[in-house]
Structure 1
């Protein structure tokens, strides 16, 4: 008889293209994944995968079955959340993605205040770049994501704005540019820059805005402590959300001549059921003052 866990294993093999990687992602043995796939194929009466160059590929029947399975698992997730919401005050784990550079900024405002107001909701927080987090939402690996909204992307998600900000140049207060009122593109040309790691909206936005400038990027880092050290002690600079260093007396953030607005949103998967816990968090985070 078809097992819902076997369907989840099948979905993971589709994502990974490998039984080995799927077993690692699902935290079960490779033989268990193989047995699940073999069981599905035996019950269905057709092959789901073929092997091409040591990588699994879906058969035509497998592709059709994947579409059915994806739809069913989404519907089941909605059913499960609605069933659980029938019980008031149950303990819930909410999986929340937050870009690393925003982590400290958000955590001191969210924790422990949210936990005190909603003791039945436990936040399981993942540091993840916005673009990667959107993918995790689509794969139901996250419930909610905090990140930057790009109007041309993220069509598979719904969202609500938390606050608006902008990216500015951050330098030490004693840096030669520290007294400037606005930073031109030409000023950035030879400046040693520490930039957020690839895979983020932040990184993509900087490279797009200054595509005509040969930026001198000397380091990629998503760790705020590393970025702060490089600015304070190594005469480097970064382009970052102006709010991040707002309380640091040793760092000054200066507007860019080419404005880089950013709208921080809370995201969730489009056309999905919002559980009571998700609704509580969305309501909480969008009512905070930043």
Structure 2
């Protein structure tokens, strides 16, 4: 059997079609289709059937998919184990960080990976979660750190381990904090607000909380980067929500005070991998240390 053909089949099965798979692994649809046809001829049975505009696995295709899942997962595990095996050679750790994740949270979660008793070379990629998950599925990343367990645009779902969570508070410059009447959170209605972008799990959690509380808020700004949002907050442009785990950091860097905690609102943080258990020492260090920097999962 040609294992390159099997790899192409595996990607088409995971992505649900030739076009999506071709975009993910950068192979033309025509080449991909031809390679799968060669695999089916060598096996003597069709692996896909056409169902409308979609490809559907045959019974033989289901069996082949199960074996391919295990084979390529074992291959990735082998690479992880062998990559740093020669003595004196640093362990390479390839990690993706969702661009919606606050940089400070990402650093706290990744810091244990470079604190091992062996030399580690970390390769860190920041991107949209859907792109990172595609890279993870191609075994180009060992781990993805995110505030969401998966992405709707990605067919293949990763194994998600929740590392921990953080409560959410609102911060503001002391002068803004004096505005408004009544208690928190109703007083937020008298203060301009800054919010993270819509791709952020924090934003989605806050939106649900605002609706549940029936609050009418004025949005003065929307930011994809939390550090930039905090910088605007220090300049009295507006109050803003933030993970409670970062309060000490934000208040230490400038004149910010806590207005109050959003009741029942939490942001979860996840380690995403292609295997349920991974032997990579950096992944083990991250998951073991997460409980010290976040609330328990």
Work out whether the TM-score is over 0.5.
Answer: yes
Cα drift, residue 248 of structure 1:
2.8
Which of 233, 236, 259 aligns to 1:254? It is 259
* Matched residue SS, 1:239: strand
**Preserved CA contact (<8 Å) 2:12 2:18:** yes
- After alignment, is 241-250 or 170-179 more displaced? 170-179
* Matched residue SS, 1:88: coil
C-alpha spacing 1:158/1:238, structure 2 compared with 1 (3 Å): same
**Preserved CA contact (<8 Å) 1:85 1:275:** no
Question: Once superposed, what is the RMSD of the aligned Cα atoms?
Answer: 4.4
Residues 123-272 of structure 1: matches in 2 within 5 Å?
Answer: 123-128=123-128, 142-147=141-146, 156-158=159-161, 160-161=163-164, 165-177=166-178, 183-184=184-185, 186-189=186-189, 192-212=192-212, 213-214=214-215, 216=217, 218=219, 220-228=222-230, 230-232=232-234, 235-242=237-244, 243=246, 245-256=250-261, 258-262=263-267, 266=271, 268=273, 271-272=276-277
Q: In structure 1, how many angstroms separate the alpha carbons of the residues matched to 2:162 and 2:39?
A: 36
* Matched residue SS, 1:174: helix
Q: In structure 2, how many angstroms separate the alpha carbons of the residues matched to 1:289 and 1:259?
A: 16
Cα drift, residue 168 of structure 1:
0.7
Instruction: Give a deviation string over 1:49-85, Cα, whole Å, max 9, x none.
Output: 3344544333343334323322332233334434446
Q: In structure 2, how many angstroms separate the alpha carbons of the residues matched to 1:173 and 1:267?
A: 39
* Matched residue SS, 2:207: helix
Residues 50-69 of structure 1: matches in 2 within 5 Å?
Answer: 50-69=49-68
Q: Gaps spanning 5+ residues in structure 2: where?
A: 150-156
Instruction: Give a deviation string over 1:147-198, Cα, whole Å, max 9, x none.
Output: 5599xxx99434555xx642111223321457999722x3345755443334
Q: In structure 2, how many angstroms separate the alpha carbons of the residues matched to 1:36 and 1:238?
A: 53
C-alpha spacing 1:157/1:16, structure 2 compared with 1 (3 Å): closer
C-alpha spacing 1:142/1:176, structure 2 compared with 1 (3 Å): same
Cα drift, residue 133 of structure 1:
7.0
What is residue 19 of structure 1 aligned with on the other side? 18
Instruction: Give a deviation string over 1:221-244, Cα, whole Å, max 9, x none.
Output: 322354235535573332111316
C-alpha spacing 1:139/1:43, structure 2 compared with 1 (3 Å): same
* Matched residue SS, 1:76: helix
What is residue 102 of structure 1 aligned with on the other side? 102
TM-score by length of 2: 0.70
Q: In structure 1, how many angstroms separate the alpha carbons of the residues matched to 2:64 and 2:287?
A: 34
Number of equivalent positions:
282
What is residue 77 of structure 1 aligned with on the other side? 76
Instruction: Give a deviation string over 1:250-282, Cα, whole Å, max 9, x none.
Output: 433332252535565655555323123433555
